[in-house]
Amino acid sequence: MKGALSSSGVGLGLGGLLGALALLYPALLLLAPLGLRFGLPFFLGLVLVLLRGLLFPVPEPPYGLRVEGTLAVREGFTRWEGHRLRVKHFPPLEDGVYHLRGYLAPPEPRRNPGGFDERAWLLAQGVKGVFHVEQARRLSALPNPRTPFRARLAEGLSSPAKEVLEGLVLGDKRGLEDAYLLFQKAGLAHLLAVSGLHVGFLVGAILLLPLGRWRYLLALALLPLYLFLAGPSPSLVRASLMAGLSLLGLFLGLGAAGVVQALGLALFLQLLLRPEAILGLGLQLSYLAVLGLALVLPALRLPPGLKGYLLGGLAASLAVQAFLAPLLLHRFHLLPLLSPLANLLAAPVVALLVPLGFLKLLLGGALAWAVEPLARGLLFLAGVASQGPLLRLGEISPQGFALYYLGLLPPLLALHHLLPWRKALLLASLPALVGLATGLPKPVDLWLLDVGQGDALLARMGGAEVLVDGGRPEQGEKVVRALRALGVEALEVLVATHPDADHFGGLLRVVEEVPVGLALLSPAFPQDHPLVQALRAKGVPTLRPGAGTALRVGKGRIQVLWPSHLSGDDNQDGLALLLDLGRAKALLLADLPAEVEETLAPGPVEILKVSHHGARTGTSEALLAQARPRIALIGVGKNPFGHPHPEVLERLQAHGVKVYRTDRMGAVRVDLGYAW
Amino acid sequence: MVLGYLLAVALLALLSLWPKLAPRPLPVRVEALAEASFTPPAPEPVSLNGASLEELEALPGIGPTLARRIVEGRPYGTVEDLLKVKGIGPRTLERIRPYVRP
């Protein structure tokens, strides 16, 4: 391991990595002295990648400019005056030449915890602009040279088998949809991103041919073909670079390159090509996985024969899991615990399917009889393994990542006999203890999530979580993902303030996915309401409280202030809640009108969830004078009603209330510290 | 080397625990995930005299029938001339005014 670490490839790779990261976070340059032990290659890598990023940055298109012209759209992207742009249109535009009219905008940053970060995703691909298309006229089709290959791949296969094969051979998971979730929960999703595993099986199959030294050259020639067919995803580029280096070495009689060496060199080359690529999840996963394999496997002494093969497979899978665990949890919030086993079972099937699929790309229907049952088998395996236990965790802080990998270091050194095991475990236990300790203080805060036009508010009350409303039905997935990202595994209390779709809609999905302790519903919900039925199906105890009900939740209290009587109007019968979070009180007003506000008498509060998305029917002068909030939260999106109304904003301003609205700011967090 | 390791762990412990334990003068702090810095440009006004039927139908409150009547009522000197089209009153005019030009 010492020898491998001092090699030039590793130095170049690490230098390039620091350079790429420093382009995003310049403060990281302070870490540069750590690279001293890698000598010249490290600093060469650092300087070259830094220069590449500083001298040739991704150009920024003129945002706000109206654009009209004839453009070729390929896989959702187009090229305009030297800028690569993402094309946004509903429904998505198929490949082709179009006459397009629209405007240029910057990509959206993340708007919710656990939400999609379009900006980072596009930047990793060297794209800084989005073309919002308002009018598109299709002029002609765009010939795709990959189409005949794809058609041959699909020939003679049933639809599910075809989709599995497209994912497995070409890394195209668009057709899979629900089945992809199964693969994810089984820990087999990595099979559907073309990477070293696939290149390995393909190259391995070719190396079995009795061609002497020339088989290396044949394999080498296949790599660009594979890149062309499957598209240059970061993991495939990485694998092709590494395999290419090794095959070239073998053909020239120099021997295969060391894996760590080749990995470092490939990373350097890929970052030199585009430093922003480091933001891509595919690249991160791909390099970490191979690093895990390269650092763990050579240190093991495995018995010969089948037993050794099985143990090796298990160890490989565990090594990859150990290196990827925090990243997978951070991004997907779940880690399949049976994944090593599932991978061991899937390996032989994939080893056959990848070379067969590749042959099928060239030959067409002739191989369907062999591919169909194998693909079905893999799908079946994913279905069974997806039922296994999952580890769930929210997003992980940068310190958390650093602690995890610090904890991984001593056992790794012990594996290579550089440290006695007892000392290693002692050292590794320290970061683990710190990690546990940082999890002890429970956050106390309010999150007003961005669910477009609608309300969804999560209150974390020191170890117990309360969700008040969930936006429209199609926003449910967003709310669930936010809960997962914030590490909310179960809701103590779920509140549906009134039966309007922009308040209860998303809760249907939440009830399905997240365990709930108690549901508080407005008395306006009828017995046969879908939400009531969903709660009943899950066996959640339900309460329809009126004014005067109070609950103790976590370190705080929930008080119900309204309704005191029923009027028959949905908005007027909504629940008004007063949350006491210890350090501050929050008044949540659902869609209540001013007449109700005036009767509430909540006393002074710090935080006000403004009634009815800022409609002029609420947030009366009387309420503001009584409650004297300092912070106003408005859950609002693009809407035809003119919410929030200028009069409401003026009233709030006149009272010196600071307004936070989700349409301008994305999700808003009111941080009230931590509770033990 | 072990010393460096221990230092690194201690530093990370401080970094991750301090924000949770530090006494805070302000009880309430608000942070937003995404601050808006971009507002889409106003849509380009459609020419009342030159626009196609499709473009007119895309205007708020204008259906196929009104679009056809607008085309039949050409030419227009000012946007207010739209009032002479049967079915377009002052309210509709105000709604589509930002999106049209003569």
DSSP string, A86-116: EEE-SSPPPSEEEEEEEEEEPPP---STT--
Burial A457-482 (b: 16+ CB within 10 A, else e): bbbbbbbbbbbbbbbbbebbebbbbb
The DSSP output letter for A574 is: P
Q: How far is CA B18 from the centre of its chain?
A: 40
Summarised one tens digit per residue, pLDDT across range B42-62 is 777 888 888 888 888 877 778
Compute the distance between CA of residue A470 and CA of residue A460 in angstroms, rounded to an integer: 15
CB contact under 8 A, A132 and B40: yes
Task: Assess: ipTM above 0.85.
Answer: no
Cβ–Cβ below 8 Å for B34 and A665:
yes
**Would strands A585-588 and A607-609 be described as parallel, antiparallel, or unpaired?**
parallel
Contact A670 B30 (CB under 8 A): yes
Question: What pLDDT shows up at residue A175?
Answer: 79
> CB–CB of B33 and A672 under 8 A?
no
B22 touches chain A (CB under 8 A): no
Question: pTM above 0.90?
Answer: no
User: What's the pLDDT score for residue A176?
Assistant: 81
Picking from A430, A606, A666, the nearest residue to B9 by CB comes out as A430
B15 interface with A at CB cutoff 8 Å: yes
Identify the pLDDT of residue B27: 67
> Per the CB < 8 Å rule, is A437 touching B9?
no
Q: Do the beta carbons of residue A284 and residue A267 sit within 8 Å? A: no
CA separation, residue A541 to residues A351, A369, A533, A578, A597 (Å): 50, 53, 12, 21, 29
Q: What is the pLDDT of residue A568?
A: 85
In angstroms, the Cα distances linking B88 to A480, A500, A641, B77, B94 are 46, 34, 22, 16, 10
Residue appearing with tokens 């009531």: A532
Look at residue A208 in the predicted model and tell me its pLDDT: 86
**Residue B82 burial class via C-beta count within 10 angstroms: exposed 0-12, middle 13-18, buried 19 and up:** buried
Select the residue from A434, A460, A583 to test the B interface by mutation, using most B Cβ atoms within 10 A.
A434
CA-nearest residue to A419 within chain B is B2
- Helix segments in A172-258, DSSP class H: 178-186, 196-207, 214-230, 234-251
Do residue B15 and residue A399 have CB atoms under 8 angstroms apart?
Answer: yes
Q: Are A115 and A105 in contact (CB under 8 A)?
A: no
Cβ of B36 under 8 Å from any chain A Cβ?
yes
| Chain A residues 641-660 within an 8 A CB cutoff of chain B | 658, 660
Of A441, A666, A672, the CB nearest to B32: A666
B11 Cβ under 8 Å from any chain A Cβ:
no
- pLDDT confidence of residue B25: 65
Which token pair is A234? 């970061």
Distance between CA atoms of residues A404 and A324, nearest Å: 11
What is the pairing mode between strands A66-74 and A77-80? Answer: antiparallel
Tell me, yes or no, if A430 comes closer than 8 A to chain B by beta carbon.
yes
Q: How many contacts does A have with B, using Cβ atoms within 8 A? A: 111
**Which of B2, B5, B14, B20 to mutate: most A Cβ within 10 Å?**
B20
Is there a contact between B32 and A660 if contact means CB atoms under 8 Å apart? yes
Distance, in Å, from the CA atom of A434 to the CA atom of A400, rounded to the nearest integer, reads 9
To the nearest whole Å, the CA of A536 is away from the closest chain B CA by 35
Spans in chain A with pLDDT lower than 70: 1-6, 254-257
Q: What is the pLDDT of residues A385-410, one digit of tens each?
A: 999 999 999 999 999 999 999 999 99
Which of A395, A657, A674, A676 is the best substitution to test chain B (most B C-beta atoms within 10 A)? A674
Task: Give the model's pLDDT for residue A5.
Answer: 44
Measured between CB atoms, does B26 come within 8 Å of chain A?
Answer: no
What average pLDDT score do residues B18-31 get? 77
CA of A407 vs chain B CAs: smallest distance (Å): 9
